[in-house]
Chains A and B, each alone.
Chain A
Amino acid sequence: MSGSTANSSKQTFLVVDDHEAILEGTVPALQRAYPEAEVLTASDIQMAQLQMGSHPPALIVLDLSLPEKPHSPASPEVGLQFLKTLIEGRLAPNILVLSTNVQPLVQLKPAINAYEGGFAAMDKSLPIREMLRLVELALRGSIYLPPQLRSRTEFDPKWLEVLTLKFNEGLTDKAIAGRMHLSDRTIRNYWIRLQDALDIYDEPGKELRIQIEIAARKLGLIH
């Protein structure tokens, strides 16, 4: 399941939220679902950065409305700015955004589509079951955005480039990564996103990549 982190040592999850009540709900649920993972918490940006420095997390569960420092006022701009640095940074953890207002994420959509790690966003008031489902999606490398952010299935130009390089030029994943100046993990996650967008499930006895190719040709994504 944890295709995102190669190392076999204990996975680290980081939950960043300044609301005690939310942390109380989220942390035990995560701990129960992922008993082998270590769940850390942070209630402001400073602390989150500190935690990330010592334990690079496989997953960050992030609220958008956050204080910069302890006791400073929380604001959505601060969280959004932090999210931007996460997406542009080298660490590329899988991310789940948990917020009462996910609307500001709309401007990050191209960056999210191209992001190396998995990314999911959800409204905070949704049940914990939903959160665990999205954690799994994010850990897998998929992208999930709530309907108000993504009205219909989208194919990012970068994913389409992967398709073309693979099926029209016959390159290996490694070569594609080299051509596009991206990491192997990014290309691997792009495949997962293509698979999600084309609605293809891993079925026994079927070659996944061939399934993708067939569907893509049918849609006219490649000629």
Chain B
Amino acid sequence: MPEASSEPAKMAKLRQQAKIWRAGALPGLAAIACVTLARLTGSLQVLEWMAFDRLLQLRPVESADDRILIVGINERDIKQVGEHPIPDRELAELLQTLQSAKPRAIGLDLFRDTSAGSGRAELSQVLKHSSNLIGIEAALNPNNELDVRPPPELPPERVGLADVTIDPDGKLRRSLLASKVDGKTRYSVSLLLAAMYLKVEGIELQHGSRASHPIQFNSVLLPRFRSDTGGYVNAKAGGNQILLNFRARSQPFRIVSLTDVLTGKVPPNLIRDRIVLIGMTATSVNDTFMTSATKGTLVSNVLNDAEQYQLLYGVEYQAHATSQIVSAVLDRRPLIHTWLEGWEYVWIVSWGLLAMALGLMLQSPWKTLSILAASSICLISICYGSMVLGWWIPMVPALMALWAAGLTTSLFDRDSRVLLEQRSLTLKRTYDAVHNGPLQTLAAILRSLDETHGVTPLRWQLESLNRELRSVYESMKQELLSDDNRYVQTLLPALLYQIYEDTLRRDLPGFSSIKICVPPNFNSLANCPLTLEQKQGLCIFLEEALCNVGKHAIEATRLDVVCTRQQDEWSLQIIDNGVSDLSYSNPHTGRGTDRARELAASLRGKFERRPHSPQGVVCELTWRESKSWRQRLSFYFKRLIADGS
């Protein structure tokens, strides 16, 4: 129709579409905003930690790390020695036995700032002369009284920090690398042991002057834990910390007991060139942490229960922390990386937007639910795969955004669609009622009046009533077919016939001389897969082509409109036999031509305006049934929407 193509009508249409989008998009955007806000305030931290632990635990099994040997002092050892803590003499003996097998590094994960039992002199000797031995101290407690000093025999460079940061949910997920103590940068046991091990391989620890500076071995940078790393919000990220990438195996390290070593049951080749960690593995000694990210710990293996959470001995933790650094440098085993905060939110919001688009596109709630479920599986798979590769990507907030936005959008969208449906149903009913009731009665009265002549004033009044009723009826019909409805609900052939009739009835100079109209048959177009825009485009094309004849053809006597389909090729021709004026035959003029070209491009077809023999102009649009999956998909979606409404 002429109105459809005029500028104000287009603007109105755009505005209405914007309104629909606003109505459809606002609830979804609000839902996404809620999820984002919840994450920003840290409400999702615990859930994200749970998911993080779970994903770490579910990774495929890794090989054991045989670079590390744990000497665990267990209950049986304590019983054997008959004393706790293990006396200095036994400890000195243990160290001497180990040193005789030439380990590369020894980590003494026991506090020995004061002597225990007898034999401190022997222990002092061993400690002083073992250049490959690292002792521990606890120096980072907020209250100095809780700190534990290192064995006095050890020089500061052979003392590592054993401090640990536990998350608010009581679980251990990160390890300390370096911290500033009394103005000096101090390193953790695990980092010192790893550095000692790697030094023999010719790889030096590189670190700036401040604790927070990046720590690097060769090209391997240890990703520093920030206060907003991954799912963390405002975490205490003091010093230089790193996320623990637990080795995914139920028995990731070889563990021997004190007695095993002292009785010579441990073959020296298990000790040679290894990192040996000495620590308590006795339940009576309180040196355990909680975790649920490992496949197994010493305790969970004994209990045969890896569910819920596991208790991790301090020495096991040190082994994991040391192992992840050495393996990252030597084996390129991934450390855990995270995205910058901003990208995490882009990711979360993107999933929300995807869900909104799906919710708006799919009408049926079942379809929406199943597509959301499929998207969730997809999202979880991506997160799992990334975790295997060492990337912690936000999963819980993305899932929440997906479902919240998807469900609210489809809910609100359905709501407004139901309203629209009801409105057009009411209109239709009223329309039919007017049609079947008053108009029919009036028709009958008018006809019977005809039989009895001579009541002219009454007849005249009735006729005007008839006209008035009809105008109401017509306006209702207009309302029913307004805007997109017109293109969605009316079949393309009917639209085109209407345009053909309406346009030819317009008072254009070129039409007056036309004696022969060969009418078109548009019915083959009913099966042509077209999008709404293309449908609309074809209508406008026909209208403009006919108007061109009316405006520019001079003395045309015949007008043919031919619509044919041969196999999968459609063609629409408007042929006149008039003399055309110059501006019209120039193909580079007018918005109509541009629009026709755009339409042809969208249909992947061809638009042509050429002279007709013996005279006149052929305006032709040809296109093939598109095989492009995108077009088909979009056609399919539009059909779904049309069927739904």
Contact = CB atoms under 8 A, between A and B. Distances in A.
Nearest to B517: A154
B444 interface: yes
Nearest to B429: A73
Interface string B436-453: 100111111111101100
B444 A113 contact: no
A68 B435 CA distance: 16
A151 B432 contact: no
B494 A101 contact: no
Given A76-B435, A128-B447, A110 B523 contact: yes
B441 A65 contact: no
A73 B442 contact: no
A151 B444 contact: no
Contacts of B498: 106
A76 B494 CA distance: 15
Contacts of B451: 128
A110 B521 contact: yes
Contact of B450 (A104, A123, A127): A127
Interface string B472-487: 0100000000000000
Contact of A100 (B440, B504, B517): B440
B521 to A, nearest CB: 4
Contact of A110 (B435, B466, B519, B577): B519
B85 interface: no
Contacts of A125: 439, 442-443, 446-447, 466
A124 B498 CA distance: 21
B305 interface: no
Contact of B494 (A107, A150, A152): A107
A70 interface: no
A207 to B, nearest CB: 23
A89 to B, nearest CB: 17
A55 interface: no
B558 interface: yes
B115 interface: no
Interface string A123-163: 11111110000000000000000001111111111001000
A109 interface: yes
Nearest to A19: B440
Contacts of A124: 439-440, 443, 447
Nearest to B433: A73
Interface string A67-106: 0000001111000000000000000000000001100101
**B435, B473, B498: which has the most chain A beta carbons within 10 Å?**
B435
Nearest to B559: A152
Contacts of A75: 432
A76 to B, nearest CB: 7
A107 B558 contact: no
Interface in A172-223: 219-221
B493 interface: yes
A75 B498 CA distance: 21
Contacts of B47: none
A155 B517 contact: yes
Interface string B501-517: 10011000001001111
Nearest to A24: B444
Contacts of A104: 494
Interface in B263-277: none
Contacts of A155: 516-518
A109 B439 contact: no
A47 interface: no
Contacts of A25: 444, 447-448
A128 B451 CA distance: 8
Contacts of A126: 447
Contacts of A129: 450
Contact of B440 (A21, A113, A149): A21
A95 to B, nearest CB: 19
B443 A100 contact: yes
Contacts of A220: 516, 557-558, 577
A27 interface: no
Contacts of A156: 518-519
A24 B447 CA distance: 11
A113 B448 CA distance: 32
Contact of B444 (A19, A107, A152): A19
Contacts of B436: 18-19, 65, 74
A37 interface: no
Given A22-B444, A76-B435, A154 B518 contact: yes
B497 interface: yes
A106 B494 contact: yes
B121 interface: no
Contacts of B522: 110
A187 B52 CA distance: 82
A67 to B, nearest CB: 9
Contacts of A73: 432
Contacts of B523: 107, 110-111
Contacts of A113: 519
A100 B447 contact: no
B136 to A, nearest CB: 87
Given A65-B435, A100-B435, A219-B557, A107 B517 contact: no
A71 to B, nearest CB: 13
B458 interface: no
A14 to B, nearest CB: 19
A22 B515 contact: no
B519 A21 contact: no
Interface string A110-128: 1101000000000111111
A101 B432 CA distance: 11
B18 interface: no
Contacts of A110: 519-523
A111 to B, nearest CB: 8
A123 B473 CA distance: 15
Contacts of A19: 436, 440-441, 444
A60 B444 CA distance: 19
Contacts of A157: 518, 521
**B494, B514, B517: which has the most chain A beta carbons within 10 Å?**
B517
Contacts of A123: 443
A5 B429 CA distance: 40
A110 B521 CA distance: 6
B181 interface: no
B491 interface: yes
Contact of B519 (A22, A65, A154): A154
Contacts of B558: 220
A153 B446 contact: no
A192 B501 CA distance: 23
A160 B440 contact: no
B64 to A, nearest CB: 76
A3 to B, nearest CB: 25
A150 B505 CA distance: 9
Given A19-B440, A153-B515, A156-B518, A109 B497 contact: yes
A21 B439 CA distance: 12
Given A65-B435, A125-B446, A221-B516, 5 more contacts: A21-B440, A106-B498, A110-B519, A153-B515, A156-B518
Q: Which 7 A-B pairs have the closest CB atoms?
A: A21-B444, A127-B450, A110-B521, A124-B443, A107-B494, A125-B443, A151-B505
21 contacts: A19-B444, A21-B441, A22-B440, A24-B444, A25-B444, A65-B436, A100-B435, A100-B440, A107-B491, A109-B519, A110-B520, A110-B521, A124-B443, A151-B504, A152-B511, A153-B516, A156-B519, A157-B521, A219-B516, A220-B516, A221-B516
